[in-house]
Amino acid sequence: MVRVISQETYNEVVNENIEQFSMTPKEAIEDAIQQFEAQGIDLSNIIKDLILSDNNELISSYLNQINIALEDKNYGNIHHTLDKLRNELDKDIAHRLYAEKNGAYNSLIKLMKACLNNGTVLKATLKAITSLMTGNPDLLNDEGIALQIQILDRCLDVPTLQCLLRWIRECCIKHELNRQSIFNADIFNKLKKILIRDNASGPELRDACAVIRALVLDDDIRHEYGKAHEHASVIAKGAINVLTGLMPRYRKDKAVVGDLIITLAALIVRNEFCQEVEDAGGLKFVIDVMIDYPDSEKLNWQALKLLKALAGNDDVKSHIITSGCGPIIVSAISRMKGSECVVTAGLACISALTLRCSSNAGVFYDCGAPLIIIDAMKAYPKSVSVLKQAAWAIRNMSVRNKAECSEFITHGVEDVLKSAHKLHGPKLESDIKAALRDLCLKVELEERWTGKGVSLSNGIN
């Protein structure tokens, strides 16, 4: 359990150091930080140099100006105040928590309601509340969600719409209940209207896709069971054809294409969705993207993520290989071996495509994948994600291809695997041992449980 304190408690200790021990403000702050950290207290929510600055006065002043504007219904220059407030909020989470305690959320919600027809103020307020809630999504309430939907229904200004979508996305990150409430407000149908609009701009589409991906996250550790799969299933049914249909239209826009690809990858959580993407031309398009943009690290990473997701369907998995993807994947890993994210995605792709499929594994042997995989492990000896995906790929390529797996051994895979095990221990133990076992190499398997040799009784006398 992380231990935290309030800003007031921290300030009291700093002031005590100054008043009772005659320390300078700087010395008092350093001593207070050392005291609290020695006790294992997390100070990330604390403005540590508050006594040296007027940040508290600035934030309070800006909020006071907003409240006065609300009372007087005079919003002439309030957007300048909002910009200044946002600059303070963007500094760190401590500033945001301080503003929250001083009623920033309620003031900003009231200001948006009062200025729905004032584009300048509305946009500035949306930016400010997004900054306030970055890393702090607990503030959202039913009133805020209703306001989000209201603005989404009536907003015609593209920059303002983008600001709104970014606020909604921020509310969804690491907050399962917010996601469910926003989803239940029928937001997908409103996002879909943006996707299918003929005059939708690339930036609009990207922000709409970002909200869709946020709605299918499963990143809130406070909730053991979320509804990411349910959300993804509902959205996929209404969005797969739309997203794949947009791909050719924005083919020349790498940013939009990348967002469409990674959004599809997040949505295809069921077998039939993989087939739908292929039937709609998604597989061919993603292959063309990797061929057309061989030097784009981000696009290749996104494309590899989609290919791995598509491999969830056995028929599509076979089509991926027969479409010539094997050499393209291996080439991408080789070309971009300096990018850990591309290497990880590429190895995960090989692992998924060779799972329970010896013919696909044979294609990767023919492409020279064993040497590429081993080189990746050597290049990233400290990366658990790279080593884990590599071990899975080795295992899947070896378990049904005993005659060909000697190629891994020839390139020295045994030493590389054992070095990874020695360095990372339990984090990779089962994965490394499984790879060694399926390569028919010596491995010490540990018996997890044994009986005590006591005879059992059925309880019948």
- Identify the bridge partners of residue 41 per DSSP, sorted by sequence position: 3
User: How far lies 177's CA from each of 56, 97, 163, 241, 396, in Å?
Assistant: 31, 20, 22, 28, 38
Residue 174: predicted pLDDT: 93
* Average pLDDT for 433-461: 73
Burial classification of residue 187, based on how many CB atoms lie within 10 Å of its CB (0-12 exposed, 13-18 middle, 19 or more buried): buried
Residue with tokens 């589409």: 205
Q: What is the DSSP letter of 41?
A: B
Domains of the chain by residue range: 3-52
Mean pLDDT of the chain: 90
What average pLDDT does range 60-69 have in this prediction?
Answer: 93
CA atoms of 215 and 183, how far apart (whole Å): 7
- Percent of the chain residues past pLDDT 90, beyond the cut: 75
What local confidence, expressed as pLDDT, does residue 453 receive? 63
Structural tokens at position 69: 């504007």
CA distance 436 to 426: 15
Q: Give residue 5's pLDDT band: very low, low, confident or very high (50, 70, 90).
A: confident
- The whole-model pTM stands at 0.85
DSSP letters, 326-339, are HHHHHHHHHHTTT-
Cα-to-chain-centroid distance, residue 207 = 15
Whether the pLDDT of residue 452 is over 70: the answer is no
DSSP 197-254: -TT--HHHHHHHHHHHHHHT----TT-SS--HHHHHHHHHHHHHHHHHHHHHHTTT-H
Contact 172, 217 (CB under 8 A): yes
Residue 441 gets which letter from DSSP? -
**Which of 286-295's residues contact partners 24+ apart within 8 Å by CB, and which partners?**
286/261, 287/323, 287/324, 287/325, 287/328, 289/257, 289/261, 290/328, 290/332, 291/328, 293/254, 294/331, 294/332, 294/335, 295/335
- Residue 12 is predicted with a pLDDT of 80
Degrees, nearest 5: CA angle 376-382-384: 80
> Would you report the helix, strand and coil content of the chain in percent, each value rounded to 5?
70, 0, 30
d(Cα 374, Cα 368) in Å, to the nearest integer?
11
What pLDDT does 433 receive? 93
φ, ψ dihedrals at 72, nearest 5°:
-85, -10
Q: What is the mean pLDDT of residues 169-176?
A: 96
**pLDDT on residue 53:** 55
pLDDT for residue 456 is more than 60: no
